[in-house]
Amino acid sequence: MDDHRNHSIDQSLLDDLGKGNVESRHPTIPKDAPDDDRLIHELETKQESSLLHALRKYEILIDEVEDSIGEVDLQGKIRFVNNASCKIWGRTKEQLIGLTCKSYADPLNQKIIIEAFTAVFKTGIPRQVTYEIIRMDGSRRIIEDSVSPLRNQNDAIVGFRAVGRDITHRKMVEKELTEHRTRLEAIFSSVKEAIITVDVAFNVTEANQATESICSVTAQEMVGKAFMDCPMQCSKFCGDVLRQTLDKKSHIKEYRIECGHTQHEEQLVSVTSAPLRDENGEYRGAVLVIRDISLIRNLERELRERHQFHNMIGRSKKMQDIYRMMNDLASLETTVLITGESGTGKELVARALHYSGQRAFKPFVAVNCSALTESLLESELFGHIKGAFTGAIKNKQGRFEAANGGTILLDEIGDISPLVQLKLLRVLQEKIIERVGDSEPMKVDVRVVASTNKDLKEKVRRGEFREDLYYRLKVVEVALPSLRERREDLPLLIDHFCSIFNERFHRTIEGVSQEVLNIFMHYPWHGNVRELEHTMEHAFILCRSSVIISEHLPVELQEFRLSERSAGPKATALSALTADAIVHALTKARWNKTKAASLLGISRRTMHRKISEFQINPNI
């Protein structure tokens, strides 16, 4: 073991240095000794003193190191430790010196330690080993050591040096993270919705098992590939949703898509996407959740009528027919002509077609064709170049170009001039536009939706509208009914506008009185839904109670009320009590018949008679 001491700290030297006994290692030389012996003695004393000072500095430096540093002889006994070792082992240096692993490790960890040191002895190659120690207080710590051989002047291994650290906390965190990840993976794998994550470069990073059943592609086939390159047999419209989230870092909730898989011709899915951020809030990509709602959609069709489609309100048979047609048209690229009186909601239909189809995340551009002269309309639709006409001081992008990839609504199409009709026909046939003053054609990809309150067929007969353009626009016609033709939708529309204006004006108005409902049910509504909206807004401004009464209505509706009264108010009021009105009042009153009767302005006896007459089930 003498050779070992040449390569490690000589503890006895350090002890002597601390006691000031440096000279004790070299006996005092006689006064009559030769000068040469005296000189040699002085040199040896100085050398040993320098060595001891160096060793002390070495020990101080090692004691300041946070990692554990120790030396072990070939018998496994500890010969040196630093302060960090004492902290980890929970023992003093005096308690540690001379111990073997049998004193601080259980049999299993003794075996791990001995095998690691034996391997280093046999190969001479440093080795990492992780083991558990038992401190004096009985607590356990996990240690990670880097073990290297100690050699003498002859390069023979005479011991080992171990540099280690306490990794107990790290191991606990790793265990917790592993358990947490295992739980998350179990949840990730068991949910029925397809979950796909992508990074900021649009590459798929993870996908769960449900992806295979919904998207007909396995997770292995997706992970590591760009989303749009994944072998999904569909239109990949959900990719537009993901791209929108990636670009704008925004949530998109429950967007419906017709998938069109080979295996699932009628598959309808609800898609939700959200940004992904790490623990530091850094943006890392996006997650897409796809839920198959085909069954729900089919049940909706079979079990109940739809009361709303996007922002369109109504449950009448005519509106149900329009909703079904809108569903069929949403995913098609065909041109649509929307007809109906002013105020029936033609632009709402156009927006519903756009936002329920594959162009939902592309531009929607509306142009009122009746508000512009021929020259201005041509420039507005197709754009112009600088100098094309007086006042054209710079190039201008047209509405068709702005709507590229999306949808353009040509409102009041019946008012456009023959020249614009001709140019529009070319756009519909060839998908090409030319800016005013420019001869270079420009390709555009735009879905055209037109609307009018005019009788285009009659205008064609009179030669005011091109027949070829008429049939090009009227590939499919959506004819909106007037409000007079769907009076049963009035209670729904009233509730809809009450919700809007309560929020806008910060009010809590419950609805309209039975008298007002009677007026509404008989009023001609020449302005249709738009007029009803303005009427409700007018009433909200004047109303200071919880129910709108006739005095809150515009003058023309109050005059209509008076004319109706002179014709027989009681008969009119009772005859206007529809089943919808009764149910509406009962719902407002939470099926309290007395309160419902008060809302309707009738007696409780009349309420019971009407419930029986309309066969209304009070338990629904």
Task: State phi, psi for 592 to the nearest 5 degrees.
Answer: -90, 110
**Greatest mean pLDDT range, 32-36, 96-100, 264-268:** 96-100
Contact 160, 150 (CB under 8 A): yes
Q: What's the mean pLDDT in 2-6? A: 43
In three-state form (DSSP H/G/I as H, E/B as E, the rest C), the secondary structure along 440-478 is CCEECCCEEEEEECCCHHHHHHCCCCCHHHHHHHCCEEE
Q: Report the chain's mean pLDDT, rounded to a whole number.
A: 82
Q: What's the mean pLDDT in 35-41? A: 58
Q: Is 329 exposed, middle or buried (0-12, 13-18, 19+ CB in 10 A)?
A: buried
- Would you state the pLDDT for residue 304? 43
- Would you state the pLDDT for residue 58? 63
Give the residue, 61 or 432, on which the prediction is more confident.
432
- Would you state the pLDDT for residue 296? 62
Strand order in the sheet with 204-207: 204-207, 194-199, 283-292, 268-277, 252-258
- Would you state the pLDDT for residue 46? 60
191-297 matches 486-576 in fold: no
Helix (H) or strand (E) holding 141: strand 140-151
pLDDT (tens digit per residue) in 431-466: 899 888 888 889 999 999 999 999 999 999 999 999
Q: What's the mean pLDDT in 267-277? A: 87
Q: Where are the domains of the chain?
A: 1-64, 68-190, 191-297, 306-479, 486-576
- Would you state the pLDDT for residue 302? 47
**CA–centroid distance for 347 within its chain:** 29
- Would you state the pLDDT for residue 13? 46
Contact 419, 379 (CB under 8 A): no
pLDDT at 21 over 60: no
- Would you state the pLDDT for residue 244? 87
Which fold would CATH assign to domain 191-297? Beta-Lactamase (3.30.450)
For a pLDDT cut of 70, what percent of the chain falls above it? Answer: 82
pLDDT at 3 over 50: no
Give the residue, 605 or 103, on which the prediction is more confident.
103
Q: What's the mean pLDDT in 349-363? A: 88
pLDDT at 423 over 50: yes
Q: Which amino acid is at 355?
A: Y
Q: Which CATH code, of 3.10.580.10, 3.40.50.150, 3.40.50.970, 3.40.50.300, is assigned to 306-479?
A: 3.40.50.300
pLDDT (tens digit per residue) in 168-179: 998 888 888 877
Global pTM?
A: 0.53
Give the residue, 521 or 278, on which the prediction is more confident.
521
Long-range Cβ contacts of 156-159 (<8 Å, 24+ apart): 156/3, 157/74, 157/121, 157/124, 158/1, 158/3, 158/4, 158/7, 158/73, 158/74, 159/4, 159/7, 159/8, 159/71, 159/72, 159/73, 159/74, 159/79
Instruction: Record the tokens describing residue 458, joined without a space.
Output: 């009659």
pLDDT confidence bin for 378, thresholds 50/70/90: confident
Instruction: Record the tokens describing residue 420, joined without a space.
Output: 């614009």
Which fold would CATH assign to domain 68-190? Beta-Lactamase (3.30.450)
pLDDT at 105 over 70: yes
pLDDT confidence bin for 1, thresholds 50/70/90: very low
In three-state form (DSSP H/G/I as H, E/B as E, the rest C), the secondary structure along 315-384 is CCHHHHHHHHHHHHHHCCCCCEEEECCCCCCHHHHHHHHHHCCCCCCCCEEEEEHHHCCHHHHHHHHHCE
Mode of pairing for the β-strands spanning 364-368 and 407-411: parallel
For a pLDDT cut of 90, what percent of the chain falls above it? Answer: 40
pLDDT (tens digit per residue) in 210-257: 888 888 888 888 888 888 888 887 777 888 888 888 888 888 888 878
The whole-angstrom separation of Cα 413 and Cα 367 is: 9
pLDDT at 25 over 60: no
- Would you state the pLDDT for residue 454? 92
Q: What's the mean pLDDT in 515-535? A: 93
Ranking 140-144, 248-252, 561-565, 571-575 by mean pLDDT, the lowest is 571-575
The whole-angstrom separation of Cα 343 and Cα 524 is: 13
Q: Is 586 exposed, middle or buried (0-12, 13-18, 19+ CB in 10 A)?
A: buried
The whole-angstrom separation of Cα 28 and Cα 342 is: 124
- Would you state the pLDDT for residue 465? 94
- Would you state the pLDDT for residue 18? 43
- Would you state the pLDDT for residue 253? 84
- Would you state the pLDDT for residue 470? 94
pLDDT confidence bin for 315, thresholds 50/70/90: confident
The whole-angstrom separation of Cα 591 and Cα 273 is: 40
pLDDT (tens digit per residue) in 143-166: 999 999 999 989 999 999 999 899
The whole-angstrom separation of Cα 165 and Cα 143 is: 6
CATH for 486-576 is 1.10.8.60
Contact 549, 560 (CB under 8 A): no
pLDDT confidence bin for 54, thresholds 50/70/90: low
pLDDT at 494 over 80: yes
- Would you state the pLDDT for residue 595? 76
DSSP 8-state symbol, 581: H
